[in-house]
Structure 1
């Protein structure tokens, strides 16, 4: 029992650390379009270990971004929404975790689900906090919907494809050893 918790905790720390490194490689175009590679290890963690560990990994990742000064800070509420709630919600991808989470359909559905839930929170933050930066003639709602919708769909698609490739080459990554 103790060994399995230590292993899960270690996997969570590693996933958050890899996510942090990948966040430096993510594509960020003018704070409007964001292709977020950091979701990949966090999705693997959620699919491998389930919701609780997936959410924990997202929390650690978000806190690391804040502590290391990688967060774009407008207000404290915005920081909580985009750097705590959003990455934590990515862990919901583990909600249908099964013994064999390496099946292609499960990976596709859960990766899209997790990423789109995460980007829902970015959409809300976009409407509330980023609307002042909307394109000329655009309101906060359509601006946030387009910016976060395109970013969320692109991120979910890329993450799903990478996870599918991993599941074909190394399906054991999605199976936790309790």
Structure 2
């Protein structure tokens, strides 16, 4: 039992580190506030293999790595804003783990198509949960950067909504391909 827990902890750490490595690949920048990437994929893999708790821990660890390495330095205005955007938001990617039982049962049945469907739903909710926190921080802390005449709420909704939809689509496509070709990546060990 201890070895099994150790395997989960190692996978959490490795996937958080892999997400951090993916941060070195430039995102698709539509504007200074809108960025689309597939960097959440390793966190989704952990969530789909081990569930919500492991997904939360892996996302939280990724956010912590961003802060510790200074990668988040330009994006932190206040300690509270930094906490919301780098610890809470990143941890909430783990919400995708709620779909872990459906994905696991689909893989057990041999239905890759069903597993891809549930993974896409999980990616949507994990992305939505993450960007909800970015949206809140956006209009509370970043609203002063909204274009003249535009409300801070609308500015944050547009910037974070566009980032969320783009990242969701990109992550869902990549995970769909990975699950179709190698479902073992998200299959829970016995």
Same fold by TM-score, threshold 0.5 exceeded?
Answer: yes
Question: Are 1:112 and 2:115 matched, yes or no?
Answer: no
Task: Specify the alignment match of 1:27 in structure 2.
Answer: 27
Please name the residue that 2:7 is paired with.
7
Q: Could you state the TM-score of these two structures normalised by the residue count of structure 1?
A: 0.96
Aligned partner of 2:188 in structure 1 is 176
Partner residue in 1 for 2:18:
18
Query: Residues 149 and 101 of structure 1: is their aligned pair in 2 closer, same or farther, counting only changes over 3 Å?
Result: farther
Partner Cα separation in structure 1 for residue 105 and residue 21 of structure 2: 28
Alignment of 1:89 with 2:101, yes or no, is no
* Structure 2, gaps ≥5 residues long: 108-114
Number of equivalences: 178
Which portions of structure 1, spanning 4 or more consecutive aligned residues, are displaced by more than 3 angstroms? 28-31
What is the Cα-based RMSD across aligned positions, in Å? Answer: 1.3
Following superposition, the deviation at residue 137 of structure 1 comes to: 1.9
1:45 match? 46
1:100 counterpart residue number:
105
- Would the aligned equivalents of 1:101 and 1:174 in 2 still touch at CA under 8 Å? no
1:47–1:26: structure 2 CA closer, same or farther, 3 Å change rule? farther
SS of residue in 2 equivalent to 1:177: coil
Specify the SS of the correspondent of 1:124: helix
- Residues 52-63 of structure 1 aligned to structure 2 (within 5 Å): 52-63=53-64
State the distance in 1 between where 2:44 and 2:156 align: 24
Query: How far apart are residue 101 of structure 1 and its match?
Result: 5.8
Change (3 A) 1:86 1:47: same
User: In the aligned structure 1, how far is the partner of 2:117 from the partner of 2:10?
Assistant: 28
TM-score between both structures, scaled by the size of structure 2: 0.90
Aligned-partner Cα distance in 2 for 1:157–1:166: 14
